[in-house]
Each structure stands twice: as structure tokens, then as C-alpha cells.
Structure 1
């Protein structure tokens, strides 16, 4: 998705340079595509523990205790992402009922992008929950 939005940007810039006309709706497509691409990496970050870690106060603790602390924060992260997913799921239906669309040339409906975002947050929450047993064993 991110590569597609980058390619669209390149095509639009070249088109603007050659014909003085960008790709119709490029701004809308790039903003939706980039946002969804970023959200799709949340679960991967949870699985690989590629998120931001601050261990300056706990680095000296035993691995199992550090794992327990990390498991607690993984549980907090899971609860947060699952709550956001549920709220986005509700927002998707509200947006669908209201017929909300992007402001621009294409006037794309938002509901499908919000639904994909909700799925990405739910996947991140599930990934965080699945990491907890591993963290409790001290295998962060």
C-alpha cells in the first residue's frame, strides 16, 4: 500500500510536470493509502516488539521480572488497541449511515477505510495478547 501511494505520487508529479494536470484525486488516495499502510504495521510492531521501549529504569532487573513488566504493558496496549478497534468499528457504521465522504475531487466514502483501520487495531490487540505468555517466560 505504501509503495502504491509512493508510485501514485511519482506519477502525479510527472503528470503535473508534463501536462500541468495531476492524477485526479491524488491527494485523497495518498492520504487514505498512507494512513492505512501505517495502521497495517501496528500488529507487526506488537509481534516483533518493534515499538518504543524505555528500559532505562528496569535494565538491571532479572529477565523474568522485566518480562512481567513488559507483559503488563502489553496487556495495557492490547486493551487500548481493542478499545480503539471497537470504537472505530462503531464509527465505520456511523460514517456509512451518514454517507460521509472525502473532501476533494473523488469524494470517496470513508466507511471502508475506517473498517480496515478497525481491523488493523484489532489485529494489533490480538498480537499483543498473544505475546504475553512469551513475555511472562522472560523471552521478550
Structure 2
């Protein structure tokens, strides 16, 4: 990816989301260390630590996914296209990036519906009783950002700015 690819509102939003994901992942790591230390010292873990770690880890992954999509650092299999000219490969990659954008949009849509359902039903975590609608809603926003990043990357591929 060229230097200019990291400019603009989409890149800025994706970078901010990745930094937020990193902060959440760091917080879950610190919580895990604290809980293990507390369990060792007092035989009592932090109440609901596994709930917080699973929520935080899931949200952190979604924070990184849009960044990986925009940078095209996800898994690429090019075994069958290495012999093709670069412009042809870029069009093929753009097509697959559009498929990824569509998948991410469907996931965002369904997670949005899931967030509304968990809010309506009052679903909570088992130990702490935390409502879960907000995490599902943030997941929907994360996948919407993935779709936006994929569309942005598609445009760059089709303009010949990367590939």
C-alpha cells in the first residue's frame, strides 16, 4: 500500500478503530493478569473476568479487522493469478474485495438486528448481569466499518493505486 493510502477520512476512522481495539485488548490482558494474580494470592478471581475478556477480545478483533481490510493484510491466496498482469490481478482482487464488502454489510445488518433483539429481550451476561446489546451493536458498527474499508480498498484497486 502506498503512502497516500493512509490519508483521508476512511483511513483515519479505521486507524482510530484499530487503536481503540488495541486499547481494549490491552485492558483485557491486564484484567487477565490481575485476575490470575488475585486468584494466586487469594484463591478468588475477579468476578466475571471471563465475561469481560470474551466481550473485550471480540470487540478488539473487530477493531483490527477494518484496518487489515483497508491495508489488504488479510489472507490472500494468489496461487492461480501470479502469472497474470498486475492490472488484471487488481481487477480480480477488487472483485473479491467487493464480495468481502457485501459479506461485511450483511454481518453488520444482522448484528444490528441482533443488538435490537438483545436490547428488547434484556439479555445479560451470566455472572455480572451486564447487558449485551451494546457489544452486539458495536460489533455491527465494526462490520460496517469493515465494509466501508473494503469499498475504499476496491476503489483504490480499480484506480490502480495498489495491487
TM-score range, shorter chain: over 0.9
1:85–1:118 Cα contact (<8 Å) kept: yes
The answer to whether residue 80 in structure 2 is matched with residue 57 in structure 1 is yes
Q: How many aligned positions are there?
A: 139
> Structure 1 runs of 4+ off > 4 angstroms?
none
Residue 109 of structure 1, aligned match among 114, 125, 131: 131
| Residue number in structure 1 paired with 2:154 | 132
Alpha-carbon separation, structure 2, partners of 1:39 and 1:48 = 15
Which runs of no fewer than 5 residues in structure 2 stay unpaired? 1-23
Instruction: List runs of 5+ in structure 1 lacking aligned partners.
Output: none
TM-score, normalized by length of structure 2? 0.83
CA distance, structure 1, for counterparts of residue 136 and residue 72 of structure 2: 25
Query: Which residue in 2 is equivalent to 1:87?
Result: 110
Of 81, 90, 104, which aligns to 1:67? Answer: 90
Post-superposition Cα deviations, 1:46-70, rounded to whole Å, max 9, x if no partner, equal: 1110111000100110111000000
Structure 1, residues 55-113: CA drift from partner, whole Å, max 9, x if none? Answer: 0100110111000000000000000001110110011001100001112x202111000
Alignment-derived partner of residue 36 in structure 2: 13
How far is the alpha carbon of 1:17 from its aligned partner? 0.5
TM-score by length of 1: 0.96
- How many angstroms apart in 1 are the aligned matches of 2:155 and 2:55? 35
> Counterpart of 2:120?
97
CA distance in 2, matches of 1:91, 1:46: 24
Give the RMSD, CA atoms, in angstroms: 0.8
Residue of 32, 37, 40 corresponding to 2:60: 37
